[in-house]
Amino acid sequence: MDLSEELAIANWRKASKSGSNGGDCLEVAPLSGGRVGLRDTEAPEKAPFVVSAGVWDAFIDGAKKGEFDF
């Protein structure tokens, strides 16, 4: 299966804390090889970003440590 097919059938989800504000969220989907797809809920027809497992793990680690808090 190529990446475009995988993205089309991916299990997209958004954070439970995003609420029902009608958008303004990112959705993520696990992909093969540990990769993760990211897309804007307001524009799901646009090509998503795809990051490696290492990039995703570093982002999650930073978020848990508060590196992105304002």
Asked if the structure places residue 20 within a domain, the reply is no
Range of the domain at 50: 3-12+25-63
pLDDT at 25: 84
10 C-beta neighbours (distance < 10 Å), count: 18
Amino acid of residue 49 = F
Structurally, how many domains does the chain consist of?
1
Asked if the structure places residue 70 within a domain, the reply is no
CA 11 to chain centre: 10
Asked if the structure places residue 53 within a domain, the reply is yes
Asked if the structure places residue 68 within a domain, the reply is no
* pTM recorded for the entire structure: 0.81
Asked if the structure places residue 19 within a domain, the reply is no
In Å, how far are 2, 11, 54, 55, 59 from 66, measured between CA atoms?
35, 27, 18, 17, 11
Q: What is the pLDDT along the chain (70 residues), one digit of tens a residue?
A: 899 999 999 999 987 777 666 657 889 999 999 999 999 888 888 999 999 999 999 999 999 999 999 8
CB of 44 closer than 8 Å to CB of 62:
no
Asked if the structure places residue 33 within a domain, the reply is yes
Asked if the structure places residue 69 within a domain, the reply is no
Q: Where are the alpha helices (DSSP H) in 1-70?
A: 3-9, 53-64
